[in-house]
Each structure stands twice: as C-alpha cells, then as structure tokens.
Structure 1
Amino acid sequence: MKPTVLSTLLVLTLSSWGTSPAIARNTEVISSHTRSSQEFQSRSTGDDEYQAQAWGLKQDEWARYRQLMQGPLGVYSPNIDPLTALGIEARNDDELRHYAQLQVQAEAIRVEKLLVYQRAYDEAWRLLYPDLQRVSLSDESPTLGSPSMPTGSGRLAVFVKENCNDCEHLISRLTVTGAEFDLYMVGDSQDDAKIREWARRAKIAPNKVNGGQITLNHDAGRWLSLNLPGDLPAVVRWVDSQWQRQ
C-alpha cells in the first residue's frame, strides 16, 4: 500500500526537525543517571575490595559477611567485626579455625601498633606534663576478662564513682597498703579532668600513677559488662577464670 500524502508529509516534517529539545533533554537525563549508577557501583565494588583486603578476606568471604549483617546477627551485634561475625557463623570446623587464626593475627598486629604508639605517647607526656597525673586512653585500657588483661598477676581492678565517700576511703586504704591496681571511674563521661580531680581528692600519689603501680581509666561500660552484684565501690580480681568481688 502506498503511503498517503499526509503520512509522507509527517515523515518529512519529523526528519527536517531532527531530535526535539525535550527528547534531547530526556536522553541526557537518562544518560547521566546511567553514568551515576555505574560510578556508584564502581565505588561500591572498590570499597568492598579494599575492606576485604584490609581484613585478609576473599571477595566471597566479604560478601558472606555483608549478607550475615543483613540478618539477625546485624540486628543483635551491629558493630561486630567481620572476622568475629564469620567465626560465629562458621559452617564447619575448618572455617572456625580459619577465622580464629585470622583474628589472632589481626589482634597481634593491632596490639603491636598500640604498644608502639603507647611508648611515643608516654614519652610525649613525660616531656610536656612531667608532674601531671596521666589518665589512660580508653582504647589502651585493658578489656576485663580478655587475654590482654593481666589476669594471672593478681592485680586488682577497682571500680569507683563520683560523690562517693566510701570510694575515696577505699582507695586511701589500698594506697596505704601499697597495693597495685587499675582504677576505673564509672559514669565520668570520659572526662580526663574529672578523674584527675577525683584522684587528687583520694590522695593518689602522682608518682604511683607515673610509675604504673596505679592506673586511672575511664570505665567505658566495663563495670556493667562484668554483671557482678552489689554497689560501688567494688574491688575485683581474676580468680578461677572469672572476675570475682574481693
């Protein structure tokens, strides 16, 4: 069937106009959106590759970790690290050993870096504030119940709080006996000045802090994590593989 005059004129008219401005704009928007999506996917892939490498994981292991965090594990433990997450959800003994070994290696590297920085920090403190009591950084304070805590040394951990006369009297008695202990201030809002002032009122000698016989630490939730009965002050010690009040 031959084209009608009207259809022929319509084709010729469209051809003469070329692509309309509206169509061109739509095409540009679609193209820009496609490029943005591709760039986002590329960045996301690059981030995943970097994170997997940083944790010593393969891409499929990292993908499994991401998948696990979308489920109950991510709800109950949103800040859990990849190695612990994969270890907890290990599907067989080989995976369990594999992630345990990776975590031990990662922890060894992390602790070594902390020790190097700690030495530099101690030296800087001695140079800048030789007469001022030092408060341990919360990340450097040993985690109670972990292998990094000197559990076998018989060293005490003492938990105190502000506006507590019994706490101050307890610390005074301990210092008189010459006991070595790690003091944890509960509810101090990570305020270094507050814990220093408390230590001054409790008559903790600066030389004992500088010498390491006594350490001043922010509690950072440790007392609650022990789940021990009774109020503060509390003196605890590692006995028979667990922390017990003394």
Structure 2
Amino acid sequence: MVNRSHLASILLGALLLGDVALGADIHNSSTPTSRSRSTSIERNDEQSAREWQLSSEEWVRFRELMQGPLGTYSPNLDPLTVLGIEARSDEERRRYAELQVQAEAHRVEKLLAYQHAYDEAWQRLHPDMPRVILPGAEPAFSPLATASTERPALFVQDDCTACDRVAQRLQASGADFDIYVVGSRADDEHIRTWAQRIGIDPARVRSRKITLNHDAGRWLSLGMPGDLPALVRQVDGQWRRQ
C-alpha cells in the first residue's frame, strides 16, 4: 500500500518542477520581444540624433537633462536649446547656438516656400475671395497683401501690451503700414480677434492703408535682434529697425 504522505510529496515535487519549467518558457519567450523593443528604441534615438546633427552621447545627455528640473519646467524644449542652456563650456555653447541657427534657417526657408505656394494656390483658386474679413471691411481685404517697400512693417504678437500700443499709435498718426502677426499659425480668426480687440479701423483695412498679415516666419528671416514689437522699414534694399 502506497504511503499517503510519500504520494503527496511526489505530487508536490511534480507541481514545483512544472512551475519552474513554465517560468523558464515564459522567460525565454519574452526575451526576443524585449530585445526587439530595445533595438527599436535605440534605432529611433540614433535617427533623432542624426536629425539634430548630434552624436549618440549628446542625445543621451539631452534625454538625461530632460529628466531633471529643466524638463519639468520646460517640457517642450528642443534638444539644441536644452544642450545649449546646460552647456559645460563656451565651445559647447557656441556649437549648439550655430546648430540651432542653421536648423531655424532651414525651417524658415521651408515655411516661406510653403507660404508662397499657399498664396499662389489661393490666388489661382479664389482670386476674388478675401481670406480674412473684419466687420465693416468686407469685401475687399486680403491678409497677405504685398507690402510696399515705401511703408513700414510692424511685427507684433498677441498678449503683448507694447505691441498693442505701437499699433494703435501708428494708426492714430494716420500712417500707412503693414502689420505682421507673429505666432498666428495661419489662423485667420486669431488675426481678426486681435485686430478687433485693439481697434484697428475696418475702413483703413478696406482701403489697404493698413494690411493685416500672417508673419509666416518673416520676422525670423530678417534676423533682427530685440523683442517685439518691431517697426521696420526697407532702406537701400535693407530692412532696418526704426
């Protein structure tokens, strides 16, 4: 007759062996997936580093810095800005500044090329239709009218009290000028709301004494120092701040 305690020991041992084998199978089956995921992440990091003209070591440093206070306070900073802010030497700082200037110039070049294509498409498809209409200014108003070189261009942005004051002062002086709203993101309603808020005269917009325009990267392309607002005029073929 089989001893019951002995039989129980045999069954327990079989169960334990089964658990060990099952655990080994699970571990072995998950290893290729984990390895594949890790390889994919590495490839993405390498590609991102190349796009920003950074080495793998620089990309790792950027990722580490974004895990600290800088990433908490400014989670949307680009890699070049992060590395430039946290540069460990003047040489590093200059390198990242130069890379950022190159990247920004390339971005603006593409942005302006697309804006030009957009302008041409609109003129071709809807030559008689205005793109932004202020109440009382309809129907003849285009927010992307070509600015005259004989009149100043005012670059402004929303949530800028100084920008509002300069625009209002220029309008009160009776001067003809072109307004470019930086950061409008090609949103006509953004420009319309801003113009109504500060009291741009629809009649002067209708007669194009004042034009309202999306900046579309023009301010950056001028490469001028200083904050907004900026009143600029073309003198001898060169745009100069007034």
TM-score by length of 2: 0.58
Structure 1 equivalent of residue 61 of structure 2: 64
Cα deviation digits, residues 106-150 of structure 1 (max 9, x gap): 112111111211111111111122233336xxxxxxxxxxxxxxx
Structure 2 equivalent of residue 181 of structure 1: 179
1:33 aligns with 2:30: yes
**Post-superposition shift, 1:182?**
2.8
> Partners in 1 of 2:23 and 2:94 — Cα distance?
55
> Partners in 2 of 1:185 and 1:69 — Cα distance?
25
1:131 aligns with 2:119: no
Distance of aligned partners of 1:112 and 1:227 in 2 relative to their CA distance in 1, 3 Å threshold: closer
Structure 2 equivalent of residue 94 of structure 1: 91
Letter in 2 for 1:61: E
Cα deviation digits, residues 188-240 of structure 1 (max 9, x gap): x986357559779824546749xxx623459xxxxxxx999xxxxxxx5459x
Structure 1 equivalent of residue 48 of structure 2: 51
**Partner residue of 1:192 out of 188, 192, 216:** 188
> Partners in 1 of 2:79 and 2:180 — Cα distance?
31
Cα deviation digits, residues 18-71 of structure 1 (max 9, x gap): xx7655543332123222211111111011000000000000011111111111
* Kept in 1: contact 2:205–2:211 (CA 8 A): no
Paired residues, number = 188
Matches within 5 A, 1:209-228: 214-217=211-214
> Partners in 2 of 1:157 and 1:192 — Cα distance?
16
Task: Mark the runs of 5 or more structure 1 residues left unpaired by the alignment.
Answer: 1-9, 136-152, 219-225, 229-235, 240-246
1:156 aligns with 2:154: yes
Structure 2 equivalent of residue 244 of structure 1: none
1:105 aligns with 2:99: no
Task: Mark the runs of 5 or more structure 2 residues left unpaired by the alignment.
Answer: 1-6, 133-150, 216-225, 233-242
Distance of aligned partners of 1:215 and 1:78 in 2 relative to their CA distance in 1, 3 Å threshold: same
Give the RMSD, CA atoms, in angstroms: 4.5
TM-score by length of 1: 0.57
> Partners in 2 of 1:68 and 1:158 — Cα distance?
33
1:85 aligns with 2:44: no
Letter in 2 for 1:101: E
**Post-superposition shift, 1:160?**
7.7
